[in-house]
Structure 1
Amino acid sequence: MDRSHSSRLKCLLVLIFVLSLLTIATHPAAAAIITVDDGGDQNHTAIQDAITAASAGDTIRVYPGTYNENVEVNKQLNITSTDGAAVTNVTAVSSSDSVFFVTADDVTINGFNVSGATSVYNSGIFLSSSSNNTLTNNTASSNYRGIYLDISSNNTLTGNTASSNYRGIYLDISSNNTLTGNTASNNTDDGIYIYSSNNNTLTGNTVSDNSDEGIYLSTSSNNTLTGNMVSDNTDNGIYIYSSIFLPSSSNDNTLTSNTVSNNTDNGIYLSGSSNNTLISNTMSNNTYNFGVVGDNMLEMLNDINTSNTVDSKPIYYVVNNSDITIDSSTNAGVVYCINCQNISIEDLTLSNNVNGIFLYNSTDSNITNNTVSSNYECISLDSSSNNTLTSNTMSNSSDDGIDLDYSSNNMLTSNTMLNNSDDGIDLGFSSNNNTLTSNTVSNNSDDGIDLDSSSNNTLTNNTASDNSDNGIYLKDSSNNNTLTSNTALDNGDYGIYLSDSNNNFIYNNLFNNSDNINVDGTNTGNVWNTTKTSGTSIAGGSYLGGNYWLTPTGTGFSQVNDTDVDGDAICDETYSIASGHVDYLPLIAPDTTTPASSGESSSGSRASVGQSNTPSNVASTDSAIKKVLAGDNVEYDLSGGEGPVLGISFDANSYEGNVVTNVQVLKQMPDDVEDDPSDGQPYQVVSLTVGSEGTISNENADNILIRFKVSREWINENNIDPSTIRMTRYHEDAWNDLPTNQVGEDDEFLHFTAQTTGFSVFKIIGDELVEVSEPVEEPESEPVEEETPEAPAEEDTGLPGFTAGIGIAVLGLAGFMYRRTKQ
């Protein structure tokens, strides 16, 4: 019994011992804390030694000091400095390896200053195929990359500083990472570069003074950027430089409440990226605050509302809309219209963006009276047709003033392009069937008007002057264009340059350049004159023919070969321009000694100033173009212009094709027009042309009416009788009053029509009111009977009643004095 009990007790004790051993074996050991001090006062003097000794889950505390080593982290560890990055330095002993190279997951690196990994592709902290790591309060400087994540996801970077590296923070095929409150500055390339990485969140980071982009997303989608400060970054020469740059299929990103300022190139720039959302971002003082470019519709479809601002003005990024007006009341800072119809953009001042106005796949819109300056390109149309650009001023762009790509059937009228760094007007990539009329293109650093692979365009009455290269350049199969009545003056290379362009019709143009023309490549079928046709030429003669060839030194063909036996202002010799290029009817100036014919002043020059009027005498210009068909009632609407002329209408009796009307308000009477100061009080002097002289007159049109307005202020200030207001025309060396009727009025103006038989110089005049005094009736008085003594005949004064009048006056005076005495 006792022996049996003892045996059982021994078995129980053995069982308890075994269970105890199993329990100890299966319970994890508590995480250890391992210390490192380069002075030898702790467990280890090197971080790598501590890692080797550590187990997964341990904490390594590193005391202040300088540790010269390349650290490989292949275990789940918490590596933390005790006193922060300012006094805890880890410097790569080998510059060809990263300072911290992490391949494990769930690693924390906190509070180190890492430097010295300067070889290409090495980093201060390198996460390689590593996830769920935490990098906090580290400083990475003087490395090729400050912090680099390669195929690493779900990591958190907070409060780190990456400065003076080649690239600051770089995410490469790394997704679902969170970057908060980091600083990336003074790096040679980008501050933060996110490549082929999705679903990352960047919040409250400061990115400044980097030599390339601030934040650069490439082929990266569904990222969220919120409240980041991005400033003072410069360009790096890649495409178009920017501070937030989304190229090559970076889609569905959201940018909210970022502040982007003082960057050398762009503020926020999207290229080839779609479905991005921008909300409440502020862009200011960047060279170009905002821009979007794309090669197709999908790449232009972004959600960008007016809460985004450029230099405190809202961005208008209009997508799939129609029938709206964006004018000065909106205070728009930049306008993009994507797949829109019938948009009016008018009276805006737009500057410092990639494009001031950009239309993509948009039609039937009007861009009027805008001032667009200091953009990369001022106004751009891409894949857009049937739009009208009128009276806009574009200057000081870094590229073109107006740029049309793949855009046809647009009308550009009375625009001014000055001091742009490339072309004034550029028609490229099959921009066909456009009409350019009365535009001024001057002082641009490349060509005035450049047609590149663009055909069937019409250029009329444009002036291209003082451009660094060519006045007009047709190249790369720009065929079947018509150039007439243009002026190319004082351009640096050539007045006109043809390169591999065929079948163009070039006549009645004025060229006055040191070198007027160059023909390069294969150019066939170009025609340099029309048939001799009655009409005022650009040289002032009575016939249209070829072109007017001048040079500033007086050596132009039209100046040297000026023999004109028949007096038709066409050279008697043909001008062989180049092989296969002949102007058979080159123009010369008309003989000013011959008597003036109808339509000319006695000086032999045109009475109708129009295109030949000196620019210094033109206060404003308004133009419009209409196709004139026989039997049509043609109406030109000029009511949107600055001058007094509201419109011109007539019933056409013949086909004239596209005809441009041009209204110039003149500062004073032209030198070749004699004024008549006795002919009423002048309101304004205007020059009106409809086509060339004689295109529209009473010989081929009926009911030619000019609608005009006169301000009430002028009427009141000059005491004008409204019934005398009329229009008078200078024709055949005399002023002739036109039948004029008042047809309406508003709060500011009286409206009139005047009937004319043709077009030249006109005055609007009126006469002062004449006050007519009513005769004053004298009161009747009772006759006073007085006896008049007979006077001797010789004393008769010849003034009957004179004495009686004196008597009455004396009596009246006595009565008056008596009443004064009584008072």
Structure 2
Amino acid sequence: MKKRYIAFLVSAVAFVGSCAAAASTDTAQRTHTVHPGESIQKAVDTAKAGDTVLVLPGTYHESVKVTTPGLTLRGTGNTTILQPAAKSADDCGKRGNGICVSGTKTKRLTGVTVSDLKVTGFSYAGVMALATDGLTVQRVTAEKNTVWGLAEERSQHSLYRQNTVRNSGDAGIFLANTLTVEQGSVDTNHTQIAQNTLTGNRIGITIRRLRNLTVTSNDITGNCMGVSIVGDENKPKAGAVTVRGNQVMKNNKYCAKTKRLPFLQGSGILLSATDTNDVTGNVVTGNSGTSPLSGGIVLFKSFVGATSDNNRIRNNSLRDNSPADLVNQEAAQRGNAFEHNTCRASQPEGLC
């Protein structure tokens, strides 16, 4: 009787163990591998929350839309290439985007990662994020996309890290509150733009009508303008951005005027209609031009009459910027402070 009891107990434990293993297998995160000639979108649609879609080296002529939370879309580096399809059936591709990461008007899409691939030649943006929370875009090369390399709106807690963005028609990295409605700035809850390389774009980084984010340790060179932090007359004002430890050098490409802006050339870091930004510890050199926005670090009174207030420009190293290393077009009483910068020339004099 004792032997039968022990045998029963062993069988029961084995049964419970096999059930637990089956449950673990069913709920485990999976990797879906995409080979050249296969559909990335099909793998993304099959994947569940927390899964990884791994795209092997090759050129894929398609756009990809991600709507699954926690999904990782990962390539194998610059050998995994997305280019436009001859004809797109999905709304992401029809709008000219390479990769779309999309939440809804009522619910943000959380925890998506896009990494280690190249998006090139799209007529709008290489990667476009809408209504996301905790998005990570890293080690992505975005090249020759007609409007933006990497872009987002209505998102928070994003991380853009170690990406290379070249030759975008507008901004290499473009972050905004919303593109279609004029409204006050929104809080990104500590979005980070860090360790990216931006070159040959109209503007390296544009931050429009946003608050509470950091731009740090980026290499920004050869654009028409390096960094643009811009607001307007709406409230709350854009700002509370930390711009720290960036190399902003020789952004002297010429870009013709648009409906919104005059021609651009030789602009390092621009603040317009913003407040309480901290621009510190940057190396800003060789940005030279004759645009109204030219100069090393420029506080520009916006075209709609909104002011830049209570910004701190401190501990930066500036040289060989023209018309000056530091340019302040605001009235002295606006509370903007220029402190401990190393530079040779300023407008007005006395800011160095």
For residues 278-308 of structure 1, what are the alpha-carbon distances to aligned partners after superposition, in whole Å with 9 as ceiling and x for unaligned?
Answer: 1133142321213213488973321113534
User: 1:226 and 1:77, CA in 2 relative to 1: closer, same or farther beyond 3 A?
Assistant: closer
1:125 correspondence with 2:99: yes
User: 1:27 and 1:339, CA in 2 relative to 1: closer, same or farther beyond 3 A?
Assistant: closer
Which aligned pairs between 1:410-809 and structure 2 lie closer than 5 A?
none
> Partner letter of residue 339 of structure 1?
Q
TM-score w.r.t. length of structure 1: 0.31
1:201 correspondence with 2:199: no
Alignment check: 8 A CA contact 1:92 1:98 kept: no
What is the deviation of 1:147? 1.2
The answer for the alignment partner of 2:312 in structure 1 is 303
Distance 2:40 2:315 in 1: 53
User: 1:57 and 1:303, CA in 2 relative to 1: closer, same or farther beyond 3 A?
Assistant: closer
Distance 1:147 1:267 in 2: 25
Task: Give the alignment partner of residue 300 of structure 2, picking from 288, 293, 299.
Answer: 293
Distance 2:308 2:326 in 1: 22
The answer for the alignment partner of 1:138 in structure 2 is 117
Alignment check: 8 A CA contact 2:227 2:268 kept: yes
The answer for the alignment partner of 1:160 in structure 2 is 140
Distance 1:185 1:224 in 2: 21
Alignment check: 8 A CA contact 1:311 1:333 kept: no
Alignment check: 8 A CA contact 1:254 1:277 kept: yes
User: 1:257 and 1:94, CA in 2 relative to 1: closer, same or farther beyond 3 A?
Assistant: same
1:65 correspondence with 2:44: no
Distance 2:138 2:154 in 1: 20
RMSD: 3.9
The DSSP-based 3-state class of the residue aligned with 1:184 is strand
The answer for the alignment partner of 2:214 in structure 1 is 224
Identity of aligned residues (%): 25
The DSSP-based 3-state class of the residue aligned with 2:88 is coil
For residues 258-293 of structure 1, what are the alpha-carbon distances to aligned partners after superposition, in whole Å with 9 as ceiling and x for unaligned?
Answer: 232233152222111111111133142321213213
The DSSP-based 3-state class of the residue aligned with 2:308 is helix
Alignment check: 8 A CA contact 1:148 1:169 kept: yes
For residues 710-743 of structure 1, what are the alpha-carbon distances to aligned partners after superposition, in whole Å with 9 as ceiling and x for unaligned?
Answer: xxxxxxxxxxxxxxxxxxxxxxxxxxxxxxxxxx
> Partner letter of residue 201 of structure 1?
Q
> Partner letter of residue 259 of structure 1?
Q
What is the deviation of 1:172? 0.8
1:279 correspondence with 2:247: no
What is the deviation of 1:91? 4.4
The answer for the alignment partner of 1:253 in structure 2 is 241
Distance 2:240 2:39 in 1: 46
Q: Alignment length, in residue pairs?
A: 292
User: 1:204 and 1:128, CA in 2 relative to 1: closer, same or farther beyond 3 A?
Assistant: same
Task: Give the alignment partner of residue 262 of structure 1, picking from 242, 251, 258.
Answer: 251
The answer for the alignment partner of 1:357 in structure 2 is 348
> Partner letter of residue 250 of structure 1?
A
Alignment check: 8 A CA contact 1:98 1:126 kept: no
User: 1:136 and 1:218, CA in 2 relative to 1: closer, same or farther beyond 3 A?
Assistant: same
Task: Give the alignment partner of residue 338 of structure 1, picking from 307, 311, 332.
Answer: 332
Distance 2:79 2:154 in 1: 31
Distance 1:228 1:271 in 2: 21
Alignment check: 8 A CA contact 1:280 1:309 kept: no
User: 1:278 and 1:308, CA in 2 relative to 1: closer, same or farther beyond 3 A?
Assistant: farther
Distance 1:150 1:128 in 2: 5
Alignment check: 8 A CA contact 1:334 1:350 kept: no
Alignment check: 8 A CA contact 1:175 1:200 kept: yes
User: 1:188 and 1:27, CA in 2 relative to 1: closer, same or farther beyond 3 A?
Assistant: closer
Distance 2:298 2:58 in 1: 48
User: 1:195 and 1:74, CA in 2 relative to 1: closer, same or farther beyond 3 A?
Assistant: closer
Distance 1:339 1:21 in 2: 73
User: 1:35 and 1:222, CA in 2 relative to 1: closer, same or farther beyond 3 A?
Assistant: closer
What is the deviation of 1:22? 5.1
What is the deviation of 1:38? 3.8
For residues 595-645 of structure 1, what are the alpha-carbon distances to aligned partners after superposition, in whole Å with 9 as ceiling and x for unaligned?
Answer: xxxxxxxxxxxxxxxxxxxxxxxxxxxxxxxxxxxxxxxxxxxxxxxxxxx
Q: Which has the larger radius of gyration?
A: 1
Give structure 2 stretches of 5+ with no counterpart. 104-108, 178-186, 232-236, 253-264, 335-342
The DSSP-based 3-state class of the residue aligned with 1:136 is strand
User: 1:98 and 1:222, CA in 2 relative to 1: closer, same or farther beyond 3 A?
Assistant: same
Distance 1:262 1:52 in 2: 41
> Partner letter of residue 140 of structure 1?
V
For residues 495-537 of structure 1, what are the alpha-carbon distances to aligned partners after superposition, in whole Å with 9 as ceiling and x for unaligned?
Answer: xxxxxxxxxxxxxxxxxxxxxxxxxxxxxxxxxxxxxxxxxxx
For residues 344-389 of structure 1, what are the alpha-carbon distances to aligned partners after superposition, in whole Å with 9 as ceiling and x for unaligned?
Answer: xxxxx987x7xx228xxxxxxxx9xxxxxxxxxxxxxxxxxxxxxx
Give structure 1 stretches of 5+ with no counterpart. 40-44, 100-116, 235-241, 316-331, 341-348, 359-366, 368-823
Distance 1:280 1:274 in 2: 19
What is the deviation of 1:202? 1.4
For residues 767-804 of structure 1, what are the alpha-carbon distances to aligned partners after superposition, in whole Å with 9 as ceiling and x for unaligned?
Answer: xxxxxxxxxxxxxxxxxxxxxxxxxxxxxxxxxxxxxx
User: 1:26 and 1:135, CA in 2 relative to 1: closer, same or farther beyond 3 A?
Assistant: closer
Distance 1:227 1:309 in 2: 16
User: 1:64 and 1:226, CA in 2 relative to 1: closer, same or farther beyond 3 A?
Assistant: closer
Alignment check: 8 A CA contact 1:229 1:258 kept: yes
User: 1:311 and 1:337, CA in 2 relative to 1: closer, same or farther beyond 3 A?
Assistant: farther
The answer for the alignment partner of 1:179 in structure 2 is 160
Task: Give the alignment partner of residue 86 of structure 1, picking from 79, 83, 94.
Answer: 79
User: 1:87 and 1:57, CA in 2 relative to 1: closer, same or farther beyond 3 A?
Assistant: closer
User: 1:271 and 1:72, CA in 2 relative to 1: closer, same or farther beyond 3 A?
Assistant: closer
> Partner letter of residue 125 of structure 1?
I
Higher relative contact order (CA 8 A, sep 6+): 2
Distance 2:326 2:48 in 1: 60
The answer for the alignment partner of 1:215 in structure 2 is 205
The answer for the alignment partner of 2:226 in structure 1 is 243
